[in-house]
Structure 1
Amino acid sequence: MYTFKNTEINNKKASDFETKSLLYLLGMRSDSEEIEIVTVDCFNDVTGSNTDFSKLWDVQSKNHSSLPPSKIGDSLFTLYDNYVSNISFYEYILFIPKLNRNYLVNPSLNIYSYENINEKQKKGIEKKLKEKINADKSGKIPPLFIDFLSKIYFVEDNKRVSTYIKNISKFKNKKSIPEEIYDRIFLEIRNAQSVLKNSYIESEKISHPSEVLKFNRHITKLQINTLLISRLVGIDVFSFPGIPLSFFDVLIGKDEEERKDLLQECNENLSRAFFDKNGCREFWKVTEMLINILKEKPDDTIFNVHSNLTSKVKLKTEYLTKETLLYMISLVKAGLANAD
C-alpha cells in the first residue's frame, strides 16, 4: 500500500520549474516516447508513467537560488522515501538549477549520476540526508542508503522556457513561430498543472500506481500534444499563408468567388468554434480525436479522415460544418507534415 504524503495542499500556482520538469519528462529524454502520463504532486512533484504504469520516472524539482550540499541532501528525501516504498520506480531524478561546478568531477555535464559529485560535497549531502531520514543526528546508515545514491540522477535546468516547448512540438520550422507563442503555451501548461494541485489527497492510499488516476492529478502526453498542435496550427487558422494543399480537392469545380467565400466561411467557423465558450469543449474533443486519427493514418485523404472522425464524434456545434472540418483536417495535416 502506498500513502500520499507531503502533498502541496495549498499551492495554487505550479512553478515554472515544476512545469519544466514535466516537459523534460515528455520531450527532453531519449526515452520520452515511453512516457504517456505525468502525475502532479502525487508520488512527487511530477512522476512520468507509461500507459499501464509498469514503468515510473520519479522527479523532485528544487529551484533554490543556491544548492549547498545540505540542501541537496534535504532535496533527495522524497526520492529516497519512494525508493524504499512498495512501488518500484524506474528512475529517480533531482531536477535542479545549475550546480556549483566545483562540486562536480566532470563540470561539463548537465545530466549525471551521484558519482559525478566530489567526495567533499558527498559527505555534506549524505550527512543531511541521513538526518532527514532518521529524524536525528545519529549518523546511522538508513536501509538501502548506498543503493539509493547509486540510482539517482541529477538533471540541471540550462534551457529557456521556449526550448522545452519546442522539443515537445518537434516542428521543423521552429524559427517561423514567434518566441512569445511558445512562452504563452508554457504558461498555459503551467496553469493547467496548477489547477491539478487544488484537490486534497493527503493520506490517501493506493495499492497499485494506476489507481492514482482516480484523483485526477495527471496530464497526458496526448493532452499536451493536442494543446500544442491546436495552438501552433491555430496560428495558421487565423493567418494561414495560402490554402492547405489537401484542401484543393474540396475547391475543384468552384469558381474564384466561390472559393474565396468558402475559405472565408471556414476560417470564420473555426474562429467561432475556437472561441465559443459553450462549444470550446467540443472543439478540443474533435481536435484530440483528429490528431489520434492522423497519427494512425497520416497519409489518409481528408475525406476518409472526415468520415472516420464523424463516425467517432457526434458534433453538436453548428460551426463545425463538413467543409469547415475538411479545412481543419487539411490544416492539421499541413502542420503534421512539418513535424519530424
Structure 2
Amino acid sequence: MSYEVRSSEKLRKFAADGETKALLYLMNFRDDSTKMHFFVVDFFNDITGMDSAARKLWDVQSKASKTASAKTIGRELVTLYKNYVSDLQFIEYIIFLGGVPDTLRKDPMQSVFTINNVNDSALKSIKAGLVDECNKKEYISASEIDDNKIESFLKVVWFVIDDKKPEDYIRKIIEKHPAIIPSDTDLLSIFNEIRNKQSERKNTLVEGVIIGNADEVLSYGRHLTTNEIRLLVIQRILNTDPLSDGIPLPFLEIYSKFPSEGAKDMLDKCKASLCRALFNKSASQGFWSLFDKIYSLIIKNPNKTVDYIYNEIDDEIIVQCPDLDALSIKFFIAKTKEGIQ
C-alpha cells in the first residue's frame, strides 16, 4: 500500500482563510469533532482531520469562491476522488465551499448536504466537471475514471457551505462561556494567527513524497493539533501562556508556605495538572466552565487573594475538572489573575 503526494500548493490569503475555516469546521462544528486530534495541512488534501492514533481520516477540499458553477465544483472534487480510489481509507469526504449557485440546491436552507439535495441538472454538471478534471490529471489512471466508481463517490461526498465570519469559528470554541469571550477584533486576531500557523506548516516540500501508511505524514510536521489551538485561544484571552515557566506572583504566598524541599515539585505538579486539564477532550467543557468562573470572579474581585477566589468556586464546577486538585486550581487562578491584571 502506498500514497503519493501530488499537487500540493501555496494559496492566496483569501483561499488560506477558507482553509482555516475548514479546519475549524472540522474541529468544532461536527458531531464527530471530538474524535479529531491532528489537522494535516496540504498533504492528502487542503485539510485532513486525523484521530490521535492516526488511523481515521476526514478529507476536506476547500474552495473559497462564492460563485463557482456546478461544473467548476465538480472539477474541484478531483483530489477528493483521487483519495477515494487510493489505497488509504478516509471515513468522510467533504468539499468546503464559499458558496454555490442558486440553482444547485433543492433546499437552499441546507448548508451541509449530500447529493440528495442537489438538483438533477446540477448533479450532471458536477459529474461532467469531475470527469473532465480526472482526464487531465496524470495521477488518476484511466481505469479509475469509471461511471460506477464516480457515482459511488458522489453519494458519499458532503457539501459544506461556509456561511460564517472568521470570528464565529473561534467563538464556537468557547461559546458556552460568555464571560471569557473576547471582542470580535480579538477573535479575528486569533483566527489570523491560526491561519498563519497553518501557512507555516506548508514550508516543507512534500510534492512527490510517497508514504505507506497515514501515520507517516506526522514525520513531515505539516499538522496542527486541537491542543495547540485551544492553548492559543487561552493565551490570547490571558495575554500570557498559562503553561509558561516561573511562579506567578499571586501564587507566591502559597508557594512560600510550602516546605522548601518539596516546593519545586509541587509547582511542577500544578503545571502538569493544568496541562492535562487543558488538553483533556473528555472534560473540555468542565475546563472552560472553570476558566469562565475564575475569570468572572477575578474581574469582580480584582484585589481578592487566590484563596478567596478558590473558595468562591462552586463544587459542581470543580468536580467537572478531574485533572485538577485544590493546589493546581489555585495555581490556575494565580496564572489567570496575573494575565488579566
**Superposition TM-score, scaled by structure 2 size:** 0.71
Q: Give the secondary-structure state (helix, strand or coil) at the position aligned to 1:58.
A: strand
Match of 1:264 in 2: none
1:174-185 to 2 correspondences below 5 Å: 177-185=182-190
Whole-Å Cα distance in 1 between the matches of residues 180 and 333 of structure 2? 28
The answer to whether structure 1 residue 103 and structure 2 residue 127 are counterparts is: no
Which of 284, 303, 327 pairs up with 2:334?
327
Deviation at 1:89, TM superposition (A): 0.4
Q: 1:3-43: per-residue Cα shift (whole Å, max 9, x none)? A: 000001x5586711110001110111111000110000000
Q: Which moved more, 1:173-182 or 1:99-108?
A: 173-182
Match of 2:86 in 1: 85
Deviation at 1:233, TM superposition (A): 2.9
Q: Give the secondary-structure state (helix, strand or coil) at the position aligned to 1:102.
A: coil
Match of 2:162 in 1: 157
State the AA in 1 paired with 2:321: P
Where do 5+ consecutive residues of structure 2 fail to align?
243-249, 258-269, 284-319
1:1-340 to 2 correspondences below 5 Å: 1-8=2-9, 10-11=10-11, 15-135=16-136, 141-142=146-147, 144-173=149-178, 177-234=182-239, 250=254, 290-293=274-277, 295=280, 298=321, 300-304=324-328, 327-328=334-335
Q: Give the secondary-structure state (helix, strand or coil) at the position aligned to 2:203.
A: coil
Does the CA-based 8 Å contact 2:21-2:166 persist in structure 1?
yes
Q: 1:227-250: per-residue Cα shift (whole Å, max 9, x none)? A: 11111233899xxxxxxxx97984
Whole-Å Cα distance in 1 between the matches of residues 338 and 149 of structure 2? 54
Does the CA-based 8 Å contact 1:12-1:194 persist in structure 2?
no
Does the CA-based 8 Å contact 1:48-1:57 persist in structure 2?
yes
Deviation at 1:69, TM superposition (A): 1.4
Whole-Å Cα distance in 2 between the matches of residues 287 and 74 of structure 1? 49
Q: Give the secondary-structure state (helix, strand or coil) at the position aligned to 2:79.
A: helix
The alpha-carbon distance between structure 1 residues 287 and 154, as it changes in their structure 2 partners (threshold 3 A), is farther
Deviation at 1:66, TM superposition (A): 1.1
Q: 1:132-182: per-residue Cα shift (whole Å, max 9, x none)? A: 11339x9x7356111101000000000111110011234511685211110
Does the CA-based 8 Å contact 2:44-2:83 persist in structure 1?
yes
The alpha-carbon distance between structure 1 residues 151 and 176, as it changes in their structure 2 partners (threshold 3 A), is closer
Q: Give the secondary-structure state (helix, strand or coil) at the position aligned to 2:94.
A: strand
Amino-acid identity (%):
32
The CA RMSD over aligned residues, in Å, is 3.5
> Across the two proteins, how many residue pairs are aligned to each other?
275
Match of 1:310 in 2: none
Deviation at 1:215, TM superposition (A): 0.5
Whole-Å Cα distance in 1 between the matches of residues 72 and 179 of structure 2? 37
